[in-house]
Amino acid sequence: MQSRVERKFLKINFVTIVLLFFVILAGGIVRSTGSGMGCPDWPKCFGHYVPPTTIDELTFSEGKFFKKGYIVIWNEALYKAKKDLTAGPTFNHADWEKYTKHDYAKFNVAHTWTEYLNRLAGVILGFAAIATLLFSIPYLKTHRKKVFWLSLFSFLLIGFQGWVGAKVVDSNLKAYMVTIHMLIALIILALYVYLYEYAKDRKIDVSFIAAMKMGSTKVMLIILLVLTALQILLGTQVRELIDEISAALNFQGRDQWVSKVGSAFIIHRELAFAVLAISGWIWFAFRKLKSDNTLKKLVYCNAALVVVQLITGIALAYLSLPPAAQTLHVLVGCLMFGIQFWAVLCFSKIDYMQEAIA
């Protein structure tokens, strides 16, 4: 029986995991709608804490007041106010500093607010990470001190992820930066899932062990986890290539974009069938087991997610990249990774319980 403090930690940690998926969902919406540069600066948006709703707020005109740090679009470039000022009849370059981190100088209100809400979701996640860290402090007085140190490391990593997010914007969404951003997100997800399972006194029914090949099943599950992570990162690269192709074609001929990606898409597609095959093998290994434990539920959940992932992948390839399918594809991929990692942890607990019994 776990203490009241431990139960509170598990609840807030679980909330943090859920919020992580909301942030991933928000990021998927940003990606699928092309809203990544909706806010060209960071952490503010066009120099505002609450972003503009019309182009007029970013347009230089006589008599308009601008606070220090506010950004305007002038001659297809971004300029930041050096001080509080009221605009005169002409644009005085002495009052403005050209924004040089990138040359993207467009405003789309839908893109701006989509990106802003994505950042807001990240801020809420940050507060949840702080709460998780605070509720982990009592573990310093127990034999599970690792709970606190991992909570601290995870919180710091979220802060680092925010900094990387700023660099992604500064780079104008360079492919390698987007991939690094996604990789860190997967690491953060794995850390919080590990924290939850490590802190929970879960008793797994091991009566089913004799009925299946535990060693080979665990190996296959680890291979599946690695393949899923590679698929997520490769999918990020595929998406970046599609962005380059669409821009080169002036965003025309949407039905041709996927066919022009080349080997990256082919590898991504073939690995998807490998993920399907391994997931099917693991599902079949658990199918006849009478035990209804957490591990079996995770395996079944993963199988369902793989089917959904395959459907969304087919929709992306053959239905001209519908935005809703893009968002769902990213979210389901990350859900698969989280579920598979959780299942690997459960297998590790079974190994520990077997050693304890022996």
Q: Is the pLDDT at 173 greater than 90, yes or no?
A: no
Split at pLDDT 50, 70, 90, the class of 153 is very high
Q: Is the pLDDT at 327 greater than 50, yes or no?
A: yes
Split at pLDDT 50, 70, 90, the class of 287 is confident
Res 101: pLDDT: 87
Res 349: pLDDT: 74
Which of the listed CATH numbers 1.20.120, 2.60.120, 1.10.3470, 3.30.70 matches domain 206-358?
A: 1.20.120
Greatest mean pLDDT among 41-45, 222-226, 296-300 lies in 222-226
Kindly report the number of other CB atoms within 10 A of residue 342's CB atom.
20
Mean pLDDT score across all residues of the chain: 89
Where do the domains of the chain lie? 206-358
Q: What is the mean pLDDT of residues 313-330?
A: 92
Q: What is the mean pLDDT of residues 148-173?
A: 92
284 vs 210, which has greater pLDDT?
284
